Structure 1
Amino acid sequence: MIDVIFLLLLFFMLASTFSKKTELELVSSTEGPASGEQPHVVRLFVALQGLKVNGHPIAEAELVADLSHKASKPNTIIAVELDDEVSTQRLIDVLLKVRAVSEARIRVLEPS
């Protein structure tokens, strides 16, 4: 009996996934900037086959460096716009990269 329990325990241990889950917190907010100054907005357009920062195409490998440079100004917001065909997984992949830019706030724009 103990052998069966041990084999079941071993099976479930090996069958389970040990990958680390990554959490991405999304907060819906309507409040404006804390100070009276206008925010510096960087627009990131996410398409199925590419990215654009402020209307200029950019490679995904250069995204974090470019956004870090643009977000060096105080009170920066990265506004993320999506193409209609973009999947949720693609959005999450891009948001995980954008999250590396710690100086800026990230806002995902609703489609109009």
Structure 2
Amino acid sequence: MIDVVFLLLVFFMLAARFGMDVEIDLPLTAASEKPYQGPPRLVDIAPDTVRLNGAATPMDALLADLGTMMLSHDDAIILRARDGAQLQRVVSVMERLTDAGYETLVLVE
């Protein structure tokens, strides 16, 4: 009987932990104190391709396309590894972006 109670306790502890909501506050722009309203900047990193907002983009074109979407180099760029991309691939994309001067990179799961 004590084993069943212990298992139920562990189950409810884990279930309560997975049910937490996560809030992400986007940074405010410096010119106006409103939340960001510009185009999304989601970079999906796959083993062989990089996608910007869902469209396959070569790495050199990615930097140019991001430049048109950015108000400043402090704006957030969201990076997401997809389809089994290796960590080294993600790190190399992050290095290319930081070398280009982009300062705020957000890595999501």
TM-score, structure 2 normalization: 0.60
Q: What is the distance in 2 between the residues matched to 1:31 and 1:42? A: 15
Q: Does 1:61 align with 2:60?
A: yes
Alignment of 1:1-112 (within 5 A): 32-34=26-28, 36-39=33-36, 40=38, 41-71=40-70, 73-74=71-72, 76-102=75-101, 105-109=104-108, 111=109
Give the structure with higher Rg (CA). 1
**How many residues are treated as equivalent by the alignment?**
80
Q: What is the distance in 2 between the residues matched to 1:52 and 1:42? A: 10
| Unpaired stretches in structure 1, ≥5 consecutive residues | 1-29
Greater share of residues in helix: 2
Q: Verify the 8 A CA contact 1:51 1:60 in the aligned structure 2.
A: yes
TM-score, structure 1 normalization: 0.59
Q: Verify the 8 A CA contact 1:44 1:52 in the aligned structure 2.
A: yes
Q: Verify the 8 A CA contact 2:77 2:106 in the aligned structure 1.
A: yes
Quote the sequence identity (%).
16
